[in-house]
Amino acid sequence: MAHRVINFAPGPATLPLAALEEAQRDLVDYRGTGISIVEHSHRGKDYEAVHAETKALLTSLLGIPDDYEILFMQGGARGQFAILPMNLLPAGASADYVITGTWSEKAIEEALIVGRAREAASTYVDGRYTRVPSRDELDLDAGAAYAHITTNNTIFGTQFFDYPDTGSVPLVADMSSDIAWRPLDVSRFGLIYAGAQKNLGVAGITLVIVRKDLVERGRKDIPHIFQYRTLAKEDSLQNTIPTFAVYMMRNVLRWVKEQGGLDAMEARNRRKAEALYGAVDEASEFYRCPVERGSRSVMNAVFRLPSEALEAKFVAEAKAREMVGLKGHRSAGGVRVSMYNAMEPTGVEQLVAFMREFAKANG
């Protein structure tokens, strides 16, 4: 048995052991071909089957309707910050951005290089974000090319549970850190994108789910490689795709399916989050979650201790007990517990037991 620790890192993040072990088996000799999965041609039948299975799993697990394209792109989620407006923000138009954290700030920054964009809301107060806005706080432009939200704010630990209603304006979502955490109604979105390295697999690939009419409407005065239509037309195989990243996504999605799909993921994730926030709240004189209750992320829980020295001690002692990746983002401080789909509930239970002990010993 390999030695594994409990990894609460924000991404690249822990993966299901079954997905890793499958890769270990396939790495040297893929299904008796005498060639590893990463050495197979991206145009050969072995890889083709992996590609098709990954898309089929995405379609069934996420319930992706027929009028959507599934694209695998490179450049990460930050690549999409640029590629999205390059495609869907025509000259003269304006896009709406709901600003709820560092990632949405960076997203609008890129849009402003391409064209016009405005803040439809921002929950920035005193250098940080402690909640997502309610629907009635949104100042939406009915003529916007699209409206963009970040469904889960990985750094500040906030999450949308009720998505805005943008009427006929396409809703675009960066779901990098919470895609597939629960069942999803894809038809409410014009476009969804997510870097794979949290809930879907390994770094190197970005999933884009986009309504076909938006692909068609996309600008043509940008290089072909950045046009969504090129990828849609070529099934994301216009050039050499990161085959291993797609393969790993397939392994992870196979695991999700075996667990019972997204209903099972939601039950599992809610259970972990309840345990974690329960431990924070029961020792409220010691642990303090800066996030408003209704915005508390199920994926990334952040909390503070009475001092930075105690926070450092907490992280160090947890590490000595083989619980790693708990240091908060440098811009937010504190402790951050990332509990993506693959995090086992027993991992969170172990952390919760440590939190109780630590509060008693240091409070």
208 and 228 Cβ atoms separated by less than 8 Å: yes
Scan residues 192-251 and list those touching ligand PMP (CB under 6 A).
195
Among 14, 100, 150, 166, binds ligand PMP (CB under 6 A): 150
Report, in Å, the least distance between residue 195 CB and ligand PMP: 3
Report, in Å, the least distance between residue 258 CB and ligand PMP: 26
Is residue 69 within the footprint of ligand PMP (CB under 6 A)?
Answer: no
Report, in Å, the least distance between residue 298 CB and ligand PMP: 14
26, 55, 103, 272: the active-site residue: 103
Stretch that binds ligand PMP, among 24-32, 70-78, 220-228, 341-349 (CB under 6 A): 70-78
Q: Which residues contact 35 (CB under 8 A, 6 or more apart)?
A: 29, 46
Q: Which residues contact 189 (CB under 8 A, 6 or more apart)?
A: 170, 171, 172, 173, 209, 211
Q: Does the bond joining 164 to the residue before it have cis omega, within 30 degrees of 0?
A: no
Is residue 78 within the footprint of ligand PMP (CB under 6 A)?
Answer: yes
Phi, psi (5° rounding) for residue 177?
-110, 10
Rg (CA), the chain: 21
Is residue 295 within the footprint of ligand PMP (CB under 6 A)?
Answer: no
Phi, psi (5° rounding) for residue 184?
-135, 145
Among 154, 243, 338, 341, binds ligand PMP (CB under 6 A): 154
Report, in Å, the least distance between residue 34 CB and ligand PMP: 34
Using DSSP, state whether 156 is helix, strand or coil: coil
- Annotated catalytic residue 181: no
Return the DSSP state at 273: H
Q: Which residues bind ligand PMP (CB under 6 A)?
A: 11, 76-78, 103, 150, 154, 174, 176-177, 195
